Amino acid sequence: MGDPKGFINISRKEAGYRPVNERIADFSEVEQVLNTRDRILQASRCMACGVPFCHWACSTHSRIPEWQDALYREQWEKAINLLHLTNDLPEITGRVCPALCEKACVLAIYEEPVTIRENEVALAEMAFKMGLIKPYLPKRRTGRKVAVIGSGPAGLTVASRLNRTGHEVTVFEKDENPGGLLRFGIPDFKLTKAVIDRRIDIYKKEGVIFRTGIYAGKDISARKLLETFDALCLAVGSREPRDLDVPGRDLPGIWFAMDFLSQQNRINAGANIPGRKRISAKGKHVIVIGGGDTGSDCVGTAIRQRARSVTQVEILPEPPLQRPEDNPWPYWPNTLRTSSSHEEGCVRLWSLSTNRIIGKDGRIHKVEMSKLKWKRENGRMIPEETGEKLTLEADMIILAMGFLHPVKDKLLKDLPLTFDERENIRGAEKGAPIFTAGDAATGPSLVVKAIESGQNAARDIHEYLMKRNLK
């Protein structure tokens, strides 16, 4: 604990966002950066608790008090090494994680928690600037070959960890560049893609092989993969979107969130997409159906595309501003969250269920919705229709209602896999050297949870390969 009175003398200070009128004019990152002195003072607020609940809440069990102390003492190399012990991509989680750790910070019981997320990304960026994050070349090679399908956070974690233990790792990515959801699903105003490129360049120098534009199962068969590699890791994500089964769903102008977000990210990267194929919100009344983070990302993107209006609709009731009694610290608070995109100009509506989409002249014209009333029965929230209807003007609808399970493409059909009741990948049939990491196994979740899953998969694959070496 660097400063025993830091949490008493220093108030929480966030970097904050760029001004709204400035940031909506571009796709640059919205979050600003504190100067180094202020960041060190923020690290001094960590109390080095005897039982660090921040460590408990973090999916990767980050050694937060330890690297906060090193950060406070300006021991940059020690701090980044401690951070890297449990988090393979701190410069990314520091940008996009909802910071489960901060809500479990002991200070959060009565005061403002430590700025753990911001400290994390600041530390990572300082480490890159100082040349402390550099390629780690394995001292020996095991002669074992592993194929990783998918290059999102789980796939990258698996690939990096297995490569560093000496295995030869090839990552297959169906898109034109690696990164998966990080590159194509998260807007640039939250995560600039140069951050991903910088980390992947390190992995390439370490020996990880990336084969992009290769759709596993089609361009290379499941049989060929199993014949060529000693182990196969599926990190394909959970990309099957939840659809809306209502009259009018087939009208033009209705898009899934990932189609909308990924196209804009490609345009930002320089892709030349003809106007007739562009998904544009310019001058339109946009309805985003789905109140989660993906929906929020769609809101921010539509605003930057110069939508006339943006309305985000959620079927669940509006959360309270304060923790309810049945949701105590240190658990994640089920309270109202307002994102940077919401602050930019968006109407948020709650407890609404979509009845039908009304067309006019072959295009979307309006959306009819029913007002719901939620009540608790046997510990569960049950919706009831109130009879009240609401009609919203709409020229464009974006469906951001979450994801169901991995896309059941040819690869998943051809491999000897088993699936759980939600159609996530449970595992492989006995004896098959197939492993799963990330959302494909757990269902849709957070980047930090995908990293944790990737770490676990890498450990399991390494143990499997080493046991084979002993036979």
Amino acid symbol at 416: P
Asked whether the predicted pLDDT for residue 350 surpasses 80, the reply is yes
Nearest to 458 by CA among 198, 206, 160, 144: 160
pLDDT band for 4, please (50, 70, 90 cuts). Answer: confident
Q: Which residues share a beta bridge with 218? A: none
pLDDT band for 469, please (50, 70, 90 cuts). Answer: low
Nearest to 134 by CA among 63, 66, 199, 227: 199
Nearest to 40 by CA among 81, 79, 96: 79
Scan for tokens 């080095």, then name that residue: 48
Superfamily name with CATH number, domain 145-239+404-470:
FAD/NAD(P)-binding domain (3.50.50.60)
Domain 254-399 has CATH 3.50.50.60: yes
Scan for tokens 């990152």, then name that residue: 29
- pLDDT digits over 114-145, tens only? 999 999 999 999 999 999 999 999 999 999 99
pLDDT band for 431, please (50, 70, 90 cuts). Answer: confident
Q: Are 2 and 43 in contact (CB under 8 A)?
A: yes
CA distances 331 to 105, 110, 211, 360, 439, Å, are 10, 15, 41, 47, 22
User: SS3 of 181, please?
Assistant: helix
- Average pLDDT rounded to a whole number, residues 75-100: 98
Q: Are 146 and 168 in contact (CB under 8 A)?
A: yes
- pLDDT digits over 148-178, tens only? 999 999 999 999 999 999 999 999 999 999 9
CATH assignment, 6-129:
1.10.1060.10
Asked whether the predicted pLDDT for residue 376 surpasses 80, the reply is yes
User: SS3 of 96, please?
Assistant: helix
Asked whether this chain's domains 6-129 and 254-399 adopt the same fold, the reply is: no
Q: Are 400 and 295 in contact (CB under 8 A)?
A: yes
Q: Which pTM was predicted?
A: 0.96
- pLDDT digits over 48-58, tens only? 999 999 999 99
Q: Are 91 and 125 in contact (CB under 8 A)?
A: yes
Domain boundaries, the chain: 6-129, 145-239+404-470, 254-399
Nearest to 102 by CA among 416, 372, 337: 337
